């Protein structure tokens, strides 16, 4: 059995950063499950599939033609969708919104389930998302749930967008984050919530290093 660590939480809780540092430190694979919802959203945009067209969204999700190329010493990680590099395009705000809308569709979530489980390969997997511990890997031995106040999360997202060269407005981001959280928590299929056996860490006042240290202590426990 391949060991899996699940890291769930709302946007801006630090999941992505922590999951990727942890995977690096352990030499394990990384699943950024949000990227699959973002890729489905981008594919829908490219192919002109409407949000209401759930059957075709499901087909898009099930047949995503995507390659994840891990970072090397000299090159950053790449995501290739239908032959084009899209790692920047999937981070745009319009795709964030669309991703959170397609993620509310049960058929889309089901279509992506097995693809996510296939990431669990030796020597281990760190998986980052909203339902990693509750739905995708319910038997994972270590489940972490990261939270932070909405203001802190908006601030982090603002910095991230700026660093990636997107223009950004902090008030708009806070509003968008709250709307996305609400959609994630209220949807019928796999709503965002901590697994019963998850360890909850509030990262509002912690540095990245402090969070990694806390999680590593659980890995070694």
Residues in touch with ligand C5P (CB under 6 A)? 11, 33-34, 37-38, 99-100, 103, 129-131, 180, 184
CB of 207 to ligand C5P, least distance (A): 21
CB atoms under 10 Å from CB of 159, counted, come to 13
* Nearest CB to ligand C5P, comparing residues 14 and 34: 34
Q: What value does the CA radius of gyration of the chain take, rounded to a whole number of Å?
A: 17
Q: Please, which residue, 29 or 180, has the CB nearer to ligand C5P?
A: 180
Nearer to ligand C5P, 58 or 180 (CB): 180
Provide, rounded to whole angstroms, the least separation between the CB of residue 136 and ligand C5P: 7
- State the minimum distance, in angstroms, from the CB of residue 79 to ligand C5P: 12
* Comparison of 41 and 73: residue with beta carbon closer to ligand C5P: 41
CB of 101 to ligand C5P, least distance (A): 8
For ligand C5P, the closer of residues 14 and 129 by Cβ is 129
In whole angstroms, the minimum distance from the beta carbon of 123 to ligand C5P comes to: 22
**Contact 64/91 with Cβ under 8 angstroms?**
no
Shortest reach from residue 217's CB to ligand C5P, in Å: 25
Q: Which is nearer to ligand C5P, 187 or 221 (CB)?
A: 187
What pairing do the DSSP bridges indicate for beta strands 4-8 and 125-129?
parallel
């Amino acid at each position: 059995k391949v060991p899996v660590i699940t890291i769930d939480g709302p946007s801006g809780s630090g999941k992505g950063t922590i999951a990727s540092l942890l995977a690096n430190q352990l030499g394990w694979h990384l699943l950024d499950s949000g990227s699959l919802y973002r890729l489905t959203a981008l594919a829908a945009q490219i192919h002109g599939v409407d949000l209401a067209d759930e059957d075709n969204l499901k087909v898009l999700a099930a047949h995503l033609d995507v390659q994840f190329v891990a970072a090397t010493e000299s090159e950053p990680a790449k995501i290739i969708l239908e032959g084009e590099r899209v790692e920047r395009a999937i981070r745009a705000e319009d795709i964030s919104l669309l991703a959170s809308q397609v993620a509310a569709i049960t058929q889309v979530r089901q279509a992506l389930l097995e693809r996510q489980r296939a990431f669990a390969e030796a020597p281990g997997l760190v998986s980052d998302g909203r339902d990693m511990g509750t739905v995708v890997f319910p038997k994972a031995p270590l489940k972490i749930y990261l939270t932070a106040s909405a203001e802190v999360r908006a601030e982090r997202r603002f910095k991230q967008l700026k660093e990636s060269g997107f223009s950004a407005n902090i008030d708009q981001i806070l509003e968008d984050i709250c709307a996305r959280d609400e959609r994630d928590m209220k949807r019928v299929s796999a709503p965002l919530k901590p697994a019963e056996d998850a360890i909850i860490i509030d990262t509002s006042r912690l540095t990245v290093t402090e969070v990694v240290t806390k999680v590593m202590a659980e890995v070694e426990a």
